[in-house]
Amino acid sequence: MNLNTQPQSVDVALGTSALVLDSPHSGTAYPQDFGHSCPQRALRGAEDTYVEELWGFAPELGASLVQALFPRSYVDVNRAVDEIDETLLDLPWPGPTSGGAKVRLGKGLVWRMLDDGTPIYDRKLSVAEVQSRIDRCWFPYHHALDHAVHAARERHGFVIHIDCHSMPAVAQAYSTDHPWLVHADFVLGDRDGSSADPRLTHWIERFLNSRGYTVSVNHPYKGVEIVRRHGKPTQHQHSIQLEINKRLYMDEVTLERNAGFVPLQTTLRELTQALLRLDPRTASYQD
C-alpha cells in the first residue's frame, strides 16, 4: 500500500510486518525556493546518497519504508522542531528555541553550513520561509512515520524501527564533535540504550560482524530526534539509528555507485529478513 498524502515531500510504502524503516536524508528534490548560494553539487555531499535504494527491497518483504523526497540541507527532519539557528534569520523566531550541539555545528533544523564549513546562504532567511519548510516538509514526514510506527505496533504489539542513514568515510571539520574521525563500516545508535533494548542493538552488531563488517555502537552517532521520538523500549517499541559508511557502496567524489553496492544490499536484505523473524518480547538474542 502506498500512502502519498504529501507527494512533494514524503513517500511511504506501508508494510504488514512489525518492521519499519525510514530514510530521512536521501531526498534529491531540491525546492525552487531553497535560495542557497553554494553550488547544488556541494549540497549533494550532504545527502545520504542512495540509502533509499539500498533499502528499496524492504516493502516487498513486508516492511514499511518511509522516505523524504526533499534534501536534508533544506530542512532536517532528524532535528527537533525548535532546533532553530537564529543567526540565519532576519527577525527573532516567534516560538521557543532549544539550541544545542547540532545548532552550534551549523546543522540545526535548517542548516547554516556544510560539513566542511561552506556557508549555504549569502542572505538571511525569513521567519515565514522557515515556517513554510516546517509545514510542508517536517510535519508531513513525521506524520507519515508516526502513522507507520503506530500501525505496525497495533498489528503486532511491538515495533522494530530502523532509522537508515549513511556517513562519510572520514568526518569533516563540522560533521560532528569528532572531526577527522575515521568511521567504522556501520554505526548503530540507540541513545545509550534509551531508544531500544541494548540486546537488540548488539544483536544487529554481531550480525554485521559475522558478515565481516566493523561496527561502532553509539559513537560518534547516538541517534537524534527520530529515534528519540520513536524509541520506547519499555513499551516494546525499539528504535535504532543505523549509519552506513559511504565508501562501502559509492565514490564520495563522483557520487557513483561502486562494486560494493550489490554485496552491501545483499547483507541489508539478509539483516531485514532476520529482523522480520525477531520478536524482541521473547528473543533470547543468542547467535
pLDDT digits 0-9 by tens, 162-219? 999 999 999 999 999 899 999 999 999 999 999 999 999 999 999 999 999 999 999 9
Burial (Cβ within 10 Å: 0-12, 13-18, ≥19) of residue 76: buried
Domain layout of the chain by residue ranges:
2-79+136-276
Distance CA 198, CA 129 (A): 40
Chain segment 17-69, per-residue pLDDT in tens: 999 999 999 999 999 999 999 999 999 999 999 999 999 999 999 999 999 99
pLDDT at 287: 60
Bridge-partner residues for 241, per DSSP?
163, 189
pLDDT at 2: 32
The least confident of 3-7, 152-156, 166-170, 225-229 is 3-7
Angular region, 217: left φ>0, alpha ψ -120 to 50, beta rest = beta
pLDDT at 4: 35
Percent of the chain residues past pLDDT 70, beyond the cut: 97
User: Does residue 163 contact residue 241 with C-beta atoms inside 8 Å?
Assistant: yes
- Taking the CB of residue 223, how many other CB atoms lie within 10 A of it? 27
Based on its alpha-carbon atoms, the radius of gyration of the chain, rounded to whole angstroms, reads 18
Domain 2-79+136-276 belongs to what topology? Aminopeptidase (3.40.630)
